Chains A and B, each alone.
Chain A
Amino acid sequence: MVDTRFALYPPYGTDIPNMNDKNGNLETAAHPENLRRVAIDPVSRVEGHGKVTLLLDENDRVHQVRLHIVEFRGFEKFVQGRPYWEAPVMVQRLCGICPVSHHIAASKAMDMIVGATLTPTAEKVRRLMHYGQILQSHALHFFHLSSPDLLFGFDSDVARRNIAGIAAAYPEVAKRGVLLRKFGQEVIRITAGKRIHGTGSIPGGVNKNVSTEERDYLLKDIEQMIAWSRDALVLVRQLFEQNLDLYNNFGRFKTHTLNLVREDGALDLYHGGLRARDMDGNTLFDHYDSRHYWDVIFEDVKPWSYMKFPFLRSLGPERGWYRVGPLSRVTQCDFIPTPLANQARKAFMAFAGGSVAGATMGFHWARMIEMLHAAELIQELLHDPDLQGNDLVSKGQRQERGVGVIEAPRGTLIHHYKVDEHDQIVRCNLIVSTTHNNQAMNEAIRQVARQYLDGRKLTEGLLNHIEVAIRAFDPCLSCATHALGKMPLQVELLDVEGGVLSTLARSADGAFS
């Protein structure tokens, strides 16, 4: 069971510092030269490495906490010069977990380049591919990666805090996680040609439809997937009921939000306009044409991180950071256009006086609502005869600039390309979901530092608290999300001169030294 001692920490609303207060934000210490530096390096990676650094004074009070993503990917550079039709296949190699996101976002941008208006078959096959991915990615995150934290406790026995431990203690939960993910991967295989890194989506459409045999193959399991998704919602609700104070307060912070919504305000993960709301729920802009995202979003650069810090232009770089992803989408849409998921959303929004909708751990609940929505939509799409259509590709007036925006499993994903008269890409800008959440994740771990680190001796369980906070966002920090409980970590306590006072290291096999 979850360690309930965390419930002793101040309940919701009593100890939430203003993140925009220079003295309270913990981003930059006033006098770092006099502070001890504690580094968690590597914490994890975005297909690479990330680290957390903390600066503490002699009383172990935290003065600075930073999540650094130190990896440089370079796709924006080496896609330059390549033909535009190659981009959807090339850039999806950014990721092995949700490559379909990049595949489709790039394809949407290239639809603009070739001046296409998608045929019904093309759009529905793409939507099917995308929701298959939402299903598999959310299942992967909840069952494989987060359930050990949630079911065993944040600082439970590290030896069993992994998917193998779940399989031993909760075999049915583990089995459902594996099979839900498998189903989503099968949807991707049928629409994209391969489970990972397929080629189904091309500029102006798709390269195949869904045959009746393929449709029937998926339909035979879809009812089970919907049932298991509903059961997952029951499980996550129970977890919140049992640990309400902990889940409500852990890494909690106030934030602005950004997400796509359909014209009628419904949740739509494939296409829509941008909606931004401030931390008090006031709408900053709504149904904004995402093809002109740069009018409302800009990227800030900070000297201590390779990852940019996007912000809402109207609020500026200091105050304009925001959060994307399932929690923002589910709470900020007006409704979900499938019945079971919409019902689940209402229950979520009403739970504990609506407070969970603002909790960092609420990500898990929102993610399961989206998984149910994906399963329902897949069923709906599979019954649509347009999937068997043969009108797959369209073209129109050639354009120079293309922008593709979708809601990926982890949040809003923006692809932006400029293509020259020789059909070669000359400029590319990608703002990926994890980048949008950069500052938000920093705020979450700063809050965890305030809540759990001040004056405490470093332990493995403490390290995992930082992981749990980062993991709630389901970031593309590969180690944090993929090697759960086995993330190689090294924490060093240094004196002012940089000398090592003590070290705690965890190797990839989970051993401590």
Chain B
Amino acid sequence: MRIRTEKTFIIFSMIGFILLAFIVLPLAKIIFSHDLPTLVDTLAMPGVRDAIWLSIYASLLTAIIACILGTPLAYVLARKNFRGKSLVEAIVDLPLAVPHTVVGIGLLMVFGRQQIIGGLFYDKFDFRFFGTLSGVILAMLFVSSPFMVNSAREGFESVNQRMEYAARTLGASQFEVFRRISLPLARRGIVTGMILTWARSISEFGAVYILAYFVSFWDIRTMEPNIAMTAPVLIADQFLQYGLERSSAIAAILLLVCLSLFVILRYLSGRQR
């Protein structure tokens, strides 16, 4: 028997291994440098629990809002060619290229209390974005929206357009075709988009840091107002105040939470079909 050597693939795999190790090592180091009692103690600190809860809660709301706002645009981009389409596509991807502190500054200059939109909300409804859950969601939505739109678009593009044609000939209006054919069939892309949006949102630091360092929000666990930092902001805060030891324990918890959610969601979205 002759053993075929695939040299190219062996070398490429070895190079790839460097990258994988680069990703896994720091994360593993964070998790394994703390023993369980330390983690439990850290988690017992109210500020930590609130921060992790706020991060999960805000990023989940962001994913839902991104889905509602992003799916229609994704469908248009998947189905229609029009003048200026590449400009629209560029705008969709723009958040990927803008530094996140710049995003925070920009949002503040529109949604701040004395700014164009923020002022309107403040005057009419006494509603503030700065330092609130809404501010966190704005920041998260801005940086994560490309993932939602692009994923959902891929989902819609994978649906054979003739299938939509067939549904039209059978009597379904454009919206009915969307509701009964395109949307269910693009579900995977949309769900993937929501997972990516959620993952990107929960990890957001820069824009949130500018817009809502301390976040006042209505805590649906206690049904009372609460104030907390999001987990990434808390980690930075603790790092600057107390150093690596303390911040890395919180980091370990946030990482474990994110990893477990990530694994569960990937499993769930992979199973449906």
A interacts with B = no
Could you tell me which B residues sit within 8 Å of A by CB distance?
none
**Residues of A participating in the B interface, judged by any CB pair closer than 8 Å:** none
